[in-house]
Amino acid sequence: MEAHLTGFFPRSEELVRITRAFERHKLGRSELEQATQNDAVHLLELQKKASFDYVVDGQLNWQDHFRPFSQIFSGINPSGLTRWYDNNTFYKQPIITEKVRYLGTGLEEYFRYDLIPVKTAKKAILPGPYTFAHSSQRPAYTSLADLVNDLAHALRETCRRLVEHGYSYFQFDEPALTFHKANNDELTIAKNAFEILGNIPNAKTCLETYFGDAAPILDSLLEFKTNCIGIDLYATSLESIQDYKFDKELACGCIDGRNSLLETPTDLAKVLHKTKTITDKISICPNCDLEFLPYTVAEKKIQLLSETKNRVKL
């Protein structure tokens, strides 16, 4: 059973202090970059110690899920602050002002492959094309489908370049599908995008859903071209998905990234044994980014994930 993280990791108290000092012009960019790098290296060590099967860099310098793409793609400009689903977290809503194309600017700034040892399996986490389009204003596009399609092509090109840097696992976050209960037309648009994304040579892909119940749309999701589907088990009940025939891996979001209460390995074992009745292909992970937790709590959740991976034999 594989284990890995699913998104942004919180910044340490030291990095919080340094980003604040940077904002107040009391420290320079080099100190900020060094502190960010120190946090990323520490996170990589934590994941290695936890024996995770893929490692992530924690996305510690991403301002939000979309901002890096105002550099990496053409046509994207950040605008007003907007709530990130039902969290006390905000993102700058992208405004799509021209056709979206891959540019590649800043790729190395936002994907820290330089810090990850060459032989370590690397996982990159990107916004899914449907959620990206759904979260944006799109004056340059009359059709949502066209924008999703262009984003899928640009994301695919991003992944293709990242494969060259050793990435072998791409997670595409699609909370918009579950949180907003996508209808059939919207699911078709998203499915078409995964026809483009699901076919990245030498890489595994995961469609990650969170913040919403996946059960009502699971029938459709199982038809998407992707190796794995991530489900938030704090928004979806296992009972409601028990009758589906999974021919894909199920990434069990069984560690709650929005709750400071620590799950117990016993409870997690129960969940995983139940999941085993749905499919043999299971991996375990948090249900969403861990950045909604303070750093020390997130560290404990990593340890818990590791203990569960080691203790539960399916």
Partner 1 sequence: MKLFPVQEIGSLPKAPWQIAYLRNDHPTDADLQHLSKWAKVSSFETETQTRSVLSSPKTKDTERTLREYSSLFGLRYLESAGLDIVYDGEANRIEMYEHAIRNSNGFEFYGHVRSFDNRYYRKAACVTKAGFRKPYHLDEFNYVKAHTKRKIKVPITGPYTLADWSFNEFYQKRLAKKYSDFRKLKHEAKRELVLDIGKEIIRPNLKALVDAGADFIQVDEPALTTKPDEVNFFVEAFNESTAGINCKLSVHICYSDYRNLYPHIMELKNCSQLALEFANRGSETHPYDMLNLLIEFGDRREIGLGVSDVHTDTIEEPELIRDRIKYASKVLDDPSRIYVNPDCGLRTRSWDVAYAKLCNIVKGAEMARQTT
CB of 230 to partner 1, least distance (A): 17
Instruction: Give counts: helices (H), strands (E), the chain.
Output: 12, 9
CB of 44 to partner 1, least distance (A): 20
Measured CA to CA, the distance from residue 178 to residue 77 in angstroms comes to 26
Q: Which of 3, 268, 293, 302 binds partner 1 (CB under 8 A)?
A: 293
Measured CA to CA, the distance from residue 116 to residue 162 in angstroms comes to 13
E strand residue ranges, the chain: 2-3, 76-83, 90-96, 122-127, 167-173, 204-208, 228-232, 249-255, 282-286
CB of 235 to partner 1, least distance (A): 7
The reply to whether 9 sits near partner 1 by the rule CB under 8 A is no
Read off the DSSP letter of residue 144.
H
The token pair that represents 58 in the structure block: 């924690």
Q: Which is nearer to partner 1, 20 or 311 (CB)?
A: 20
| Per-residue binder mask for partner 1 (CB under 8 A), 79-118, x = binder | -xxxx--xxxxxxx--------------------------
Residue list 189-248, contact with partner 1 (CB under 8 A): 234-235, 237
Measured CA to CA, the distance from residue 29 to residue 229 in angstroms comes to 38
| Per-residue binder mask for partner 1 (CB under 8 A), 164-183, x = binder | --------------------
The reply to whether 266 sits near partner 1 by the rule CB under 8 A is no
The reply to whether 291 sits near partner 1 by the rule CB under 8 A is yes
Q: Which is nearer to partner 1, 155 or 235 (CB)?
A: 235
The reply to whether 66 sits near partner 1 by the rule CB under 8 A is no
CB of 214 to partner 1, least distance (A): 13
Long-range contacts for 236-243 (Cβ within 8 Å, ≥24 apart)?
A: 236/178, 236/212, 237/213, 238/271, 238/274, 238/275, 238/278, 240/213, 240/215, 241/214, 241/215, 241/278, 242/274, 242/277, 242/278
Q: Which is nearer to partner 1, 239 or 247 (CB)?
A: 239
State the pairing for strand pair 228-232/90-96: unpaired
Total residue count of the chain as it appears in this document: 314
Q: Which stretch binds partner 1 (CB under 8 A): 13-21, 69-77, 114-122, 201-209?
A: 13-21
CB of 215 to partner 1, least distance (A): 12
Three-state secondary-structure class, residue 127: strand
Measured CA to CA, the distance from residue 90 to residue 93 in angstroms comes to 9
CB of 104 to partner 1, least distance (A): 24
The reply to whether 259 sits near partner 1 by the rule CB under 8 A is yes
| Residues in contact with partner 1 by the rule CB under 8 A | 10-11, 13, 16, 19-20, 22-23, 63-64, 80-83, 86-92, 234-235, 237, 259-261, 291-297
